[in-house]
Amino acid sequence: MLGLAGALLAVAGGLFVFVVAASSAGSLTAELVLSVILGFVALLGASRIYRSSKAMLFARARLTAAGILTAGVGVVLVFLGQGTAGIIVLAGGIVALVARAF
């Protein structure tokens, strides 16, 4: 159940990155492009968190890898100035790491 919560948080953060990028599409910068790419990676991380939480074989290792990937993307997003989206993605990664323990 916690894996699903982590995946939903990562999806929400990834989609929020797209909303912010769409609202500032008039000024296309390298930072904006990198943020959009990281939004895609956050969605990929959410997919991996969800699939790992349902896995029968090596579920803990898969959740650990997906949680670290998603948390890392969240940290980079925060450093890029995508504060709210980065914190939401980071929270999804942390929830996935907590879900690994149960």
pLDDT of residue 100: 83
Exposure pattern of 4-39 as b/e (b: 16+ CB <10 Å)? ebbbbbbbbbbbbbbebbeeeeeeeeeebeebbebb
* Predicted confidence (pLDDT) per residue in 2-21, tens digit: 889 999 999 999 999 999 88
Sequence-distant (6+) residues with CB within 8 A of 30 are: none
- What is the spatial distance between Cα 14 and Cα 89, in angstroms, rounded to a whole number? 7
Look up the pTM and report it: 0.90
* Predicted confidence (pLDDT) per residue in 66-90, tens digit: 999 999 999 999 999 888 999 999 9
Delimit the domains of the chain by residue range.
2-100
If 0-12 CB within 10 Å is exposed, 13-18 middle and 19+ buried, where does residue 101 land?
Answer: exposed
